[in-house]
Structure 1
Amino acid sequence: MPQTDKQVCIPPELPELLKQFTKAAIRTQPPDLIQWAAEYFGAMSRGEIPPVRERSEQVTLSNWAELTPELLKVLHSRVGGRLIIHADELAQMWKVLNLPTDLFNSVMNVGRFTEEIEWLKFLALACSSLGVVS
């Protein structure tokens, strides 16, 4: 490989960006890191809250996060004011946040949702599951 006299310039914001990303990935423990990273940087580029679990939301005994008001806020911000969201898109958001699949399916069944989901109805049903111990 030939040497060049060109120096590589590292953008000054890169080290902090990578540090914050790494911390978020460690806290969130996404099942699919590549997909989660795409969601993370996509949200950042749009000025949205990235799909990150806060320290207080970390789960030590399970691979699945517990649904919290904070995670519902993240979901709500990701929906971005739309009244209707496609089931596949919402399922992906749910997965990225590492939330329990059985809870998603339960909300889908109770709401009798199909491909197009009324977001506020879904949100209300998801809120009703907060604090419920299974």
Structure 2
Amino acid sequence: MESQHSMEQNLSTTELSRRKKSKKSRRTGKTIMVFFLSVLVWASLAYGGYRLGFSLINQSTAALQQSIDDVKESNALQLQRMTEQMKSLEFELQLIEESINQTDSQLSDSNTTREALINRITELDKQLEELKKSLQKLKENTRG
């Protein structure tokens, strides 16, 4: 009887040992699974963050390039307008100088007309210089 009892005890011990190992291996398997799932979640979040950042940078770059293009276009239009104004002023100056020359020969006695024309020429010269300075600044800004 004792041998039977000791055999039963050995079987129970072996069975208990097997059950403990089985539970331990299940716990280890669950721990490994949780670890890998955690790593997978973090890797997915990191990749998603990278893609989102990359997308935002591309959008910002495109918006910045569009702004630069708009400024260039605006500068080009202003440059063209100022160039046309300068040409118009130069033409007007030539007409006034011709008028002065004609008036000088015809109205040598009229100082009032001459002074008015000279004042007008002086004003137009100042405007022309200001336009030249503005044009030069625009050209420098367009190049820079």
- Structure richer in helix, relative to its length: 2
- Structure richer in strand, relative to its length: 1
Structure 2 length as normaliser, TM-score? 0.20
Structure 1 length as normaliser, TM-score? 0.21
Higher relative contact order (CA 8 A, sep 6+): 2
Which is greater in Rg? 2
